[in-house]
Structure 1
């Protein structure tokens, strides 16, 4: 796997990976109606362009330059998106992306990371040392979802 910064030419691949991830990996956590509301098919590229605007995104590619995952974050420590292709579940892609971003944010002086993790992503973030700050219920396209506001201190020297 290799990591690189997102380019605007990645937009469709990132949106398609997100959609495939939700529909392929979240089956045990969300029903078909919830998955359709969370990740409509086909993805709306203008919505995705707006969603990624203002965030820094790093993509992971396999040896054939196929997108294996991506992580989007803000310089204030917010992790907004972390998704892995259904072709690469539990193969270290999310961990590789996360470690890269945590290191970069620590070097930038960020002391706390925070995210809103889905039911599916909560165990991953917990393994990275995040703690639940609050359980939330959110609505997306008329469907409700449980998510978790999570935080992690990354102060240098701890």
Structure 2
């Protein structure tokens, strides 16, 4: 698995991966209407470019294709962490998370945060995140449940 910084030429692949991941993996926990509101089948690439431009994004490449991505802010907030359904449960998300967390800790960040979906909650809990609050957000007129989560990183943490 090769982990690298994303480039502008990756945006379409990242968005396609996000859409596939939401519609296939998150389908276990969300209704079709919620999935359509969260990840429209015809995404706005311009909005995605703007959103990703203010974040640092790493991609995992396996077998010549993007297997997953993580996008995070300099303050330790993880905005996106998604794996392609074709590469689910193969350590892609864990490796991306580890590299992002190590990068942030090296920069002096001592607290990580995210808003995790129902499906992502167990992953983040396994990485030491705790739920701050259960949230209901609205996307395109549809309500979605998610969890605000944080993790404080101490100096003696073996894992970020």
Paired position in structure 2 for 1:109:
108
- Verify the 8 A CA contact 1:112 1:152 in the aligned structure 2: yes
Distance (Å, rounded) in 2 between the aligned partners of 1:60 and 1:19: 17
Question: 1:83-114: CA deviations, max 9, x gaps?
Answer: 00010111100000000011111111100000
Q: Equivalent residue of 1:27, what SS? A: helix
Q: Map of 1:64-103 to 2, 5 A cutoff? A: 64-103=63-102
Tell me by how many angstroms 1:65 deviates.
1.9
Q: Equivalent residue of 1:87, what SS? A: helix
Distance (Å, rounded) in 1 between the aligned partners of 2:64 and 2:74: 27
Paired position in structure 2 for 1:39:
39
Runs of 5+ consecutive residues of structure 1 not aligned to the other structure: none
Runs of 5+ consecutive residues of structure 2 not aligned to the other structure: none
Scaled by the length of structure 1, what TM-score is found?
0.97
Q: Equivalent residue of 1:91, what SS? A: coil
Name the count of aligned residue pairs: 157
Scaled by the length of structure 2, what TM-score is found?
0.95
CA RMSD of aligned residues (A): 0.9
